[in-house]
Structure 1
């Protein structure tokens, strides 16, 4: 149980850190953003309560101090740069400590000292403005009207509505209200009807606590300082009506990722099993009197096609997660890298609400981190260089994501110096990766693509950030394993863009199964235009290849078997040709036979075949054989 709770704490903790990072970034740009300030306060408060459940004292004390500073900002003043720097430092420290807890289950050995240092820094900021006793959170305006029984006695009316998840934050609503100084009246009711006993949730707080206090407002607010976003106050002598914020939380169900992966695997297996019905139907129809049975099997297969397709799509949606939490992890890393290189960098995030398959998110951290390192180390210039170039002193790196049909495009753009194609060619020649003659034949885009050669690096020396002799080939390999690709574009003096094009989720691909000799291969049906039978006398030699006329167009003809390494087929009276559209042009692929059409869950190739040219992925046939699904565009390069 403890391990389960810790896993939940780590998961929720990273979400809260990401939320606090986002709100702090907004506050740094607009210090008067009340919504961001309230959001940051809630995230820090919840983190503090969760840390208290696990006896993480250095974290709790540090977060308590951060909460004091945020309370001061809500009640006393607009934040200044020093405030936000201190709060960013606290959030970064919590982020590092969460990583340590995930690795080893304990805080780092220097946690006590680091926590004390961060706490002292924040307390100095608080003390510089007001006495600690005056640090209270300003209550939100309210439309709440106290009960009639509260009127006529004077004092301060209180309405405390704990969040449903307050127990998980370490808040004891009854203890908090009982500690109110000058408590003169108390009423407890339910926020929502209780319902039957079978519907009771002991882990959800469903209370509304209304009270009257004869103490001063400052004393009462100090009592509720840690739950200020859940409390409303009304002076009984003067009731003011203004809207109250809605802090309702969206209900979610957390599911072990392994269970979802298992469900996805079963959905894929169902697709394979369903495809086997086609062979059974054909066998039944070949039997004497089996026509009716075969037709019945095909009808059942059509029904299963729809149901399995819906199931597969639904499981794919369950696996979708937003990119926002992944992007948010790079805020701290960008600040640390820029600080170590004495550069000023602003990281901007866009499209964090775009959802992709969990496998994509899990596999993107390392390649994005590598790209970020390159952008900060090699891409953006220092303040002096940017000033001479007429650029803003603070460089901008933007992570942007957008959905494009069944793919997601993720870009990392910087406004740095860009890539010098001539310099890249020179490094490739100097490292023996390319001859001078070959380098001279390359255009600028082909020269930029040299960064994908294994072992290529323009770093003059190894640094703490990059320059380890590991080039962009690792980024390309990672994208390929995820079923996508990566493209680098750059304009010298203006910056660079690294673009990932990846599948959003696992989808069923309609595949045409063809035979070349004894082997079967798949071609994605969305690339196939038609199939034709071309007599040998209509096929003409063109230079080193062949072509045929299809209506008003001349179509080049290539042997698919030769492209995949099989022997050249013997001359035939007619060729069976699959006409596909490749980069906007028609190309004919000669095959020995067209075997079948089916839905398939195509998965990227792994192991030795990962990144094999011309192969989109693989799937299983009903007989258990592996079917490689080919990419015609890459095959004819």
Structure 2
């Protein structure tokens, strides 16, 4: 078997299982007595072990096996979960994650995990750190499993083999799981194994064995092997026949029903364990994206808690993995199609032939439907980013000796995959700062009359064509005077300017390069360290970040991001000989104003708008359009745009109309132009700059 062919599938499946393990371990930490969650964790670990062994990553497989030994004692109620066990298992997951990352980067997945393995083995032996004498069970893990009557299968079945066994049970055949051990002093192990296989083949069909038949023939096995078997013979009769063969030490034959088969194969259906041995379709390129990214681990966990079991006849999977690069190609082709559609619409208006107009209109409708489908294909639940934060917050809080409750709201909110890939690191910075510098220490919270457990809320929600992500803590808030004092010291702000600055302007100083209010440098870092990187990354995604805070009550960071970076709805406008596009998501309304309504207030140009006054900005002046003199006009067209809760009006010469436009990057050869988010190609081949209204509203 060509393992390289399946490496991409292995990496994706391993990451899914590791994420599931982390999430369920956090759930188990909240409810240590819930055996249902332990069962889910054990199945994920067992499947990961089998996949790693099949792919030849022995270190990864061995470490997972040691974790299995601990989990097996817990699920058989021979060991109770305690803090040191959780810490050791979490360390194991971190080591597994590093191994998978090494494999992703072309390595062999090897790592020095002897200290972790020793800790896991000590837990199995019943040794408690600090000299405790609690014993999980008499004897080793294998003995505990035997005492409980449990059997374990290392055989990885593909979906076809699993369905054959399921169907055989349904049709009244006996499906057996057989383990055979040959005596240690046997000189011809392969010959004795052949006698067993020859006997079994007389009375039924062997579906799969471990090790494989070829490995057994070449004596590439220790002294035992196992297999799945279909027959009409009774289990006791077959066991007697096998044991009576020469030099057979023992044989265990177990009759399986639908339920025990499903348990023994540890979730073949939902985990697709066969993907590691014979996946049906694999893309060799990475990274990849699922057409549906929701992890199955959460439903599985809730089902286990409810005491439910999945039966053998599960519904076929309705999701596939698609290489993200293929979606990018599809988006680029769609972009070209939309540009050509605009050109055809313009030509049809000029030619004015009914049949041509009708055809172009139909093509426009089909193109719009295709555009919606492609955009939805790229939309991914933000949970794919949020799901890794509970573990991170738990570790940071533990290292700081704080109690933190992370509340996640709106994880189902969808965002373009391109944005999802880039937003993870900025959110990590903001969350770490909220835990470290936002939430006070337990002693400070108690002294302030607050609950000793701090709360950090991570929220996501849609608003128009934008997604908002908010990180809010109930900590001590931001001290305006402390920020200004540090800003004076660093020369970022002059003392003469401070009095005129609003609180929000002061808070935004946190995003200045190298600015920090931390008194002590730590590996967690104080608020401010890295926040300049956060703002740069968010602005590169055409996003905006803002801060609000109340001293003594808490702080909220709000990140506004576009739903997609590829295709948007925009209003096309004309100024002189130039054409521009303004994103519809930023437009509140359009209108006309009389020139006599324009006022000068404290040096700013303002106009009346709904019982208030808002700034008026001239795009002709901002972009130095030479062939349009708006001062000569008695009436002026305006576009009212919004940034958060702030409004401004932009003057234009004329409106061309609404259109779906494709955003094109200006490239590296042009300098960054304030107020320009990119460009688009219009139907007549002209290039129109896309205006970023956020740049004009301060």
**Mapped contact 1:38–1:229 kept (Cα < 8 A):** no
Q: Which SS does the other structure have where 1:116 is aligned?
A: helix
Aligned residue among 422, 429, 435 for 1:376: 435
> What is the CA distance between 1:381 and its match in structure 2?
3.4
Q: Which residue of 2 aligns with 1:27?
A: 28
Q: Within 5 A, what are the aligned runs for 1:242-257?
A: 244-246=309-311, 248=314, 250-257=317-324
Aligned residue among 461, 482, 489 for 2:541: 482
> What is the CA distance between 1:552 and its match in structure 2?
11
> What is the CA distance between 1:268 and its match in structure 2?
1.6
Are residue 434 (structure 1) and residue 435 (structure 2) matched? no
> What is the CA distance between 1:37 and its match in structure 2?
2.3
> What is the CA distance between 1:436 and its match in structure 2?
1.1
> What is the CA distance between 1:17 and its match in structure 2?
1.0
| C-alpha spacing 1:73/1:609, structure 2 compared with 1 (3 Å) | farther
Gaps of 5+ in 2: 128-134, 163-167, 169-173, 182-195, 208-227, 240-249, 269-306
Q: Which residue of 2 aligns with 1:270?
A: 337
Q: Which SS does the other structure have where 1:12 is aligned?
A: helix
Q: Within 5 A, what are the aligned runs for 1:585-624?
A: 589-602=650-663, 613-624=674-685
> What is the CA distance between 1:593 and its match in structure 2?
4.1
Q: Which residue of 2 aligns with 1:564?
A: 623
Are residue 86 (structure 1) and residue 147 (structure 2) matched? no
Are residue 164 (structure 1) and residue 159 (structure 2) matched? yes
Give the count of matched residue pairs: 578
Q: Which residue of 1 aligns with 2:145?
A: 135
Q: Which SS does the other structure have where 1:107 is aligned?
A: coil
> What is the CA distance between 1:40 and its match in structure 2?
1.3
Are residue 227 (structure 1) and residue 237 (structure 2) matched? no
- Structure 2 CA distance for aligned equivalents of residues 452 and 359 of structure 1: 24
- Structure 1 CA distance for aligned equivalents of residues 569 and 385 of structure 2: 32
| C-alpha spacing 1:17/1:612, structure 2 compared with 1 (3 Å) | farther
- Structure 2 CA distance for aligned equivalents of residues 278 and 591 of structure 1: 25
> What is the CA distance between 1:484 and its match in structure 2?
2.2
Q: Tell which deviates more after alignment, 177-186 or 609-618.
A: 177-186
Gaps of 5+ in 1: 141-155, 168-172, 191-206, 232-241, 285-290
Q: Which residue of 1 aligns with 2:246?
A: none
- Deviation per CA, 1:59-99, whole angstroms, max 9, x where unpaired? 21221122222222222257422433332222222122222
Q: Which residue of 1 aligns with 2:509?
A: 450
**Mapped contact 1:59–1:115 kept (Cα < 8 A):** no
| C-alpha spacing 1:570/1:600, structure 2 compared with 1 (3 Å) | closer
- Structure 1 CA distance for aligned equivalents of residues 264 and 255 of structure 2: 10
Q: Which residue of 1 aligns with 2:112?
A: 110
Q: Which SS does the other structure have where 2:322 is aligned?
A: coil
> What is the CA distance between 1:551 and its match in structure 2?
12
- Structure 1 CA distance for aligned equivalents of residues 541 and 263 of structure 2: 44
**Mapped contact 1:429–1:439 kept (Cα < 8 A):** no
**Mapped contact 2:47–2:266 kept (Cα < 8 A):** no
Q: Which residue of 2 aligns with 1:259?
A: 326
- Deviation per CA, 1:79-123, whole angstroms, max 9, x where unpaired? 422433332222222122222322342335424x24533442442
> What is the CA distance between 1:433 and its match in structure 2?
0.5
**Mapped contact 2:73–2:136 kept (Cα < 8 A):** no
Q: Within 5 A, what are the aligned runs for 1:185-204?
A: none
- Deviation per CA, 1:288-310, whole angstroms, max 9, x where unpaired? xxx33xx5444333222221111
**Mapped contact 2:574–2:580 kept (Cα < 8 A):** yes
> What is the CA distance between 1:354 and its match in structure 2?
3.0
| C-alpha spacing 1:453/1:212, structure 2 compared with 1 (3 Å) | farther
> What is the CA distance between 1:374 and its match in structure 2?
1.9
- Structure 1 CA distance for aligned equivalents of residues 546 and 612 of structure 2: 32
| C-alpha spacing 1:333/1:45, structure 2 compared with 1 (3 Å) | same
| C-alpha spacing 1:612/1:457, structure 2 compared with 1 (3 Å) | farther
Q: Tell which deviates more after alignment, 377-386 or 442-451.
A: 377-386
Give the RMSD, CA atoms, in angstroms.
4.5
Q: Which SS does the other structure have where 2:321 is aligned?
A: coil
**Mapped contact 1:600–1:619 kept (Cα < 8 A):** yes
Q: Which SS does the other structure have where 1:381 is aligned?
A: coil
- Structure 1 CA distance for aligned equivalents of residues 372 and 673 of structure 2: 28
**Mapped contact 1:316–1:506 kept (Cα < 8 A):** no
Q: Which SS does the other structure have where 2:429 is aligned?
A: helix
**Mapped contact 1:414–1:497 kept (Cα < 8 A):** yes
Are residue 179 (structure 1) and residue 175 (structure 2) matched? no
**Mapped contact 2:641–2:650 kept (Cα < 8 A):** no
> What is the CA distance between 1:39 and its match in structure 2?
1.9
- Deviation per CA, 1:612-632, whole angstroms, max 9, x where unpaired? 653454322235544222244
> What is the CA distance between 1:229 and its match in structure 2?
4.7
- Structure 1 CA distance for aligned equivalents of residues 541 and 487 of structure 2: 28
Q: Which residue of 2 aligns with 1:73?
A: 74
Q: Which SS does the other structure have where 1:178 is aligned?
A: strand
> What is the CA distance between 1:260 and its match in structure 2?
0.9
Q: Within 5 A, what are the aligned runs for 1:388-407?
A: 388-407=447-466
> What is the CA distance between 1:163 and its match in structure 2?
7.4
**Mapped contact 1:401–1:408 kept (Cα < 8 A):** yes
Are residue 326 (structure 1) and residue 363 (structure 2) matched? no
- Deviation per CA, 1:162-200, whole angstroms, max 9, x where unpaired? 673989xxxxx999823279999998899xxxxxxxxxx
- Structure 2 CA distance for aligned equivalents of residues 261 and 392 of structure 1: 48
> What is the CA distance between 1:434 and its match in structure 2?
0.5
Q: Which residue of 2 aligns with 1:5?
A: 6
- TM-score between the two structures when normalised by the length of structure 1: 0.76
> What is the CA distance between 1:561 and its match in structure 2?
0.7
Q: Which residue of 2 aligns with 1:99?
A: 101
Are residue 529 (structure 1) and residue 589 (structure 2) matched? yes
**Mapped contact 1:90–1:118 kept (Cα < 8 A):** no
**Mapped contact 2:476–2:552 kept (Cα < 8 A):** yes
- Structure 2 CA distance for aligned equivalents of residues 350 and 585 of structure 1: 26
- Structure 1 CA distance for aligned equivalents of residues 623 and 451 of structure 2: 52
Are residue 578 (structure 1) and residue 638 (structure 2) matched? yes
- Structure 1 CA distance for aligned equivalents of residues 610 and 109 of structure 2: 72
> What is the CA distance between 1:330 and its match in structure 2?
3.3
